[in-house]
């Protein structure tokens, strides 16, 4: 509904409805009516008599801790905010009138709605600007011994965990001396779809009042400190109701370059991190030196990162589990850890490529074998070493909106620019396409940039066709996860896939490239699997087929380069379409 003005850091005191045009109403008149006349008790009585049974029966509303709300005297209710209905549902927690702030645009819809909202205790705020009227009105209401509802998050926060509070609630508590009752509400985020009210179970819980001394002219630092005391109590009620807790502890399985880099990033964001190494010797060396020089030289692990052997990891209390092993290593990792991944944890998969022997997407492979509440994947142009110094723009893909918001905020706190997507298939196949396209370009580069560009373009387009046949979106390959990542891979001198392609062009067998580079090369593993999956999907993919033949040793590098621009190797214009519709 609205936010408190800039003077209180934009803090919301009610939830938002659909935005309207900037209203031109008598702002001062509404505030004056609220200050001098208060709520219309007849209208409030009629509304509560009507809505409370509806909430109890249709929404199966459950109210816990009503006895903690004082029956008299000034009170601030500090609650999380999920829906437009929150003020009305929270108002049933007490028989007392509940005042709240609503965004100014709501009062412009109609004169009737304007009168009803104001009669029920709502008063307007000009969002995004200082509004002394709003501050004064809230203070006057409390000073005359009444109750004000505040939403410290500043806006509706849904889905997922609670948002971060703003310090306005702390300032108001200090300047009025009113006790603060922490309240949590869960279930309202799904009850409204357009004008339809859906039967969702709604639960509320109020905690014991918090008391703070009255301070005139409280400083921002002091107001922030008080807010930091209030908000954990709201989170406590939220988690008691079964709400999703914030990510506090993360475990990373796989101490390669990205595993080490991610451990540093998450530690910087304030998480307790465990880094699981493949062998006892690697764990001992990294723990002793606090560096992982074979994979990420010169980067020191923060003290909050605990390094252990992967087999010794304790996953029971983990909020986030990150899998940073090559795709071919996922079967053994899931065999060792899947049963111990808790249901409340989310899994972030950074494995690129396809999982042998069937060419399964990593996210699907993980989701089928563990009970995690959600699985997400990570894509886009992001080098493990560069991201620590310069940041990166990345794509986070998951079908779980709550997990998406939770991870995006966490990764954003590490300095990353995060774009969210629900196209998991597209993001995973785009990363795979980038790897094999860079490999193809590097092999063909001995014949010049024209041939290299043709090799990369044809391979990339064929994997794009595969992604579309499996439900991927065209814009995914055209964006950061596809074209952006491809450009980064082609120009990067440290790309393993690029170096692998150069070795292939020199006649080094694919089976020896991993040992030569000291790390797994995703493209070498993925090319034959992609060709096989494309055949199963009835797609014409001549560039993938020939690249797979090269990797498998059935074609010499010189022969393969010659086929890239050969007329007979060029697919017909319709090759981007499946011959028969592939099933997802």
Residues classed as catalytic: 434
3-state SS, one letter per residue, for 114-138 = HHHHHHCCEEEECCCCCCHHHHHHH
**HEC states along 351-380?**
CCCCECCCCECHHHHHHCCCCCCEEEEEEC
**Strand, helix or coil for residue 59:** coil
Q: How many CB atoms lie within 10 A of CB 504?
A: 24
DSSP H/E element including 35: helix 27-36
Kindly give, in sequence order, each residue whose CB lies less than 8 Å from that of residue 270, ignoring residues fewer than 6 positions away. 413
Whether residue 251 contacts residue 259, with contact meaning beta carbons closer than 8 Å, is answered with no
Bridge-based pairing of strands 320-323 and 249-253 is: parallel
Q: Determine the Cα–Cα distance for residues 80 and 122; give it in Å rounded to an integer.
A: 18
Outline where 183-279 has alpha helix (H): 220-240, 257-268
- For every residue of 179-194, DSSP letters joined together read -EEEEEEESGGGSEET
**Residue closest to 180 by CA, chosen among 75, 90, 303:** 75
Residues 354 and 360: beta-carbon distance below 8 Å:
yes
């Amino acid at each position: 509904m609205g936010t408190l003005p800039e003077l209180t850091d934009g803090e919301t005191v009610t939830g938002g409805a659909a935005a309207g045009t900037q209203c031109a109403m008598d702002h001062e008149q509404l505030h004056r009516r609220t200050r001098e006349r208060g709520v219309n008790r007849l209208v409030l009585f009629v509304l509560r008599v009507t809505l409370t049974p509806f909430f109890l029966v249709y929404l199966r509303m459950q109210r816990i801790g009503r006895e903690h709300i004082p029956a008299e005297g000034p009170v601030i209710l500090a609650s999380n905010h999920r829906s437009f209905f929150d003020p009305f549902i929270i108002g049933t927690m007490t028989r007392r009138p509940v005042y709240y702030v609503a965004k100014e645009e709501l009062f412009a819809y109609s004169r009737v709605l304007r009168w009803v909202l104001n009669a029920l205790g709502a008063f307007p705020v000009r969002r995004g600007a200082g509004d002394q009227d709003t501050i004064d009105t809230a203070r006057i209401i409390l000073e005359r011994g009444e109750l004000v509802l505040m939403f410290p998050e500043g806006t509706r926060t849904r889905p997922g965990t609670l948002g971060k509070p703003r310090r306005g609630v702390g300032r108001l508590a200090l300047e009025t001396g009113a006790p603060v009752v922490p309240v949590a509400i869960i279930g309202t985020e799904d009850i409204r779809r357009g004008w339809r009210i859906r039967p969702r179970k709604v639960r509320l819980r109020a905690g014991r009042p918090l008391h703070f001394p009255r301070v005139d002219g409280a400083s921002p630092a002091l107001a922030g400190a008080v807010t930091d005391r209030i908000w954990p109590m709201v989170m406590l009620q939220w988690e008691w109701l079964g709400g999703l807790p914030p990510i506090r502890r993360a475990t990373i399985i796989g101490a390669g370059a990205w595993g080490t880099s991610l451990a540093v990033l998450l530690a910087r964001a304030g998480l307790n991190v465990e880094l699981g190494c493949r062998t006892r010797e690697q764990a001992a060396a990294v723990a002793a030196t606090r560096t992982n020089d074979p994979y990420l030289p010169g980067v020191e692990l923060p003290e909050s990162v605990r390094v252990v052997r992967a087999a010794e990891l304790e996953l029971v209390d983990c909020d986030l589990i990150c899998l940073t092993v090559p795709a071919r290593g996922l079967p053994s990792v899931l065999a060792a850890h899947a049963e111990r991944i808790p249901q409340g944890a989310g899994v972030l998969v950074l494995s690129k490529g396809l999982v042998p022997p069937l060419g399964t997407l990593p996210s699907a492979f993980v989701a089928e074998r563990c009970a995690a509440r959600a699985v997400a994947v990570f894509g886009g142009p992001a080098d493990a070493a560069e991201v620590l110094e310069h940041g990166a723009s990345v794509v986070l893909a998951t079908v779980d909106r709550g997990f998406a918001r939770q991870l995006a905020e966490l990764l954003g706190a590490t300095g990353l620019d995060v774009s969210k997507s629900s196209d998991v298939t597209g993001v995973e196949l785009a990363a795979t396409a980038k790897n094999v396209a860079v490999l193809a370009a590097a092999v063909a580069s001995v014949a010049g940039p024209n041939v290299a560009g043709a090799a990369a373009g044809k391979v990339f387009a064929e994997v794009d066709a595969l992604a579309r046949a499996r439900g991927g979106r065209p814009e995914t390959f055209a964006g950061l996860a596809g074209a952006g990542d491809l450009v980064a891979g082609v120009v990067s001198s440290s790309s393993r896939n690029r170096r692998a392609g150069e070795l292939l062009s020199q006649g080094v067998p694919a089976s020896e490239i991993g040992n030569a580079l000291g790390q797994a090369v995703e493209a070498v593993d993925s090319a034959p699997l992609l060709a096989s999956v494309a055949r199963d999907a009835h797609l014409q993919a001549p560039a993938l087929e020939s690249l797979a033949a090269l990797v498998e040793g059935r074609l010499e590098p010189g022969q393969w380069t010659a086929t890239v621009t050969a007329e007979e190797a060029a697919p017909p214009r319709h090759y981007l379409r499946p011959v028969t519709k592939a099933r997802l």
